[in-house]
A = this chain, B = another copy of it.
C-alpha cells in the first residue's frame, strides 16, 4: 500500500484508527476529510489536542474534569448546590447527561470506572475511599448510586452499599423502568420486571 498512500496520510490514518470504534475505513474517511478541508480545520484540531492533556485535570474532591487553572469543580463550589447530596457516577461524561436533565441540584462523585474483573478494574482502582472521606467531611445525607444498569454497574453499586453500611447516609438508586416513549410490548423482560417491581401508587 505504501506506494498508494503517501506516508503523512498513512500516519494520520494509523493515529485515527486508534480511536474507539474507528476501523481502517472510517479512519481513511476522516483523514481524507481533513485533507480536503481547509488547513484551518486540521489546525484547530491540532491546537485543541495539544492543549488537552496540559489543560485538563481531575477535581481532587469530585474527580470531575476541570481546567488546570481551577482548583475544584465549579459544581462542587457552587453555593447553590447541596453538598450533602452526592450522585455517584462511573465517568465524567455521566455528569453531563445528568446535568442536561436540569433537575438535580446536588453534587457528584466520579468513580473513574466500574468494577470489572475482565478489564482488571478492582475496587482499589475506583475512588471509593475518597467517596467515604467525603461522606464524613461534608456530612453527606444521600448517595444516589447513578451507575449503569449493567452487571458492572450493579456490582459497583452493591460494593459501595457494603462499604458505607456503617455510616448514617441514605442510599438511593436511579429508577429502572420503561423509558419514556417506548411501547410496553417492545420493552425487554428485565426492564419490564424492574418496572413492575418499582411500580408507584397513583
Main secondary structure of the interface of A (DSSP, over half): helix
- Nearest CB of chain B from residue A74's CB, rounded to whole Å: 4
Contact present for A52 and B8 (CB under 8 Å): yes
Decide yes or no: A51 and B11 within 8 Å by CB, A29-B20, A35-B65, A91-B32 being known contacts: yes
Decide yes or no: A51 and B8 within 8 Å by CB, A92-B32, A93-B32 being known contacts: yes
Task: Return the contact of A67 from the options B7, B21, B26, B44 (Cβ within 8 A).
Answer: B7
> Which residues of chain B are within 8 angstroms of A68 by Cβ–Cβ distance?
8
Kindly report how many copies of this chain are found in the complex they form together.
2
Q: How far is the CA of A6 from the CA of B28 in the complex (A)?
A: 30
- Which residues 76-92 of A sit at the B interface, judged by CB distance below 8 A? 78, 91-92
- Nearest CB of chain B from residue A72's CB, rounded to whole Å: 12
Q: Which residue of B lies closest to A99 (CB)?
A: B4
> Which residues of chain B are within 8 angstroms of A30 by Cβ–Cβ distance?
19-20, 22
- Nearest CB of chain B from residue A197's CB, rounded to whole Å: 30
Decide yes or no: A49 and B5 within 8 Å by CB, A56-B35, A96-B28 being known contacts: no
A190 at the A/B interface (Cβ < 8 Å)? no
Contact present for B44 and A15 (CB under 8 Å): yes
Contacts A11-B51, A42-B53 given; 20 further ones with Cβ under 8 A? A1-B99, A3-B78, A6-B65, A6-B70, A8-B54, A8-B55, A9-B52, A9-B56, A12-B49, A14-B48, A15-B49, A18-B37, A19-B34, A32-B92, A35-B53, A35-B56, A39-B53, A42-B49, A42-B50, A46-B50
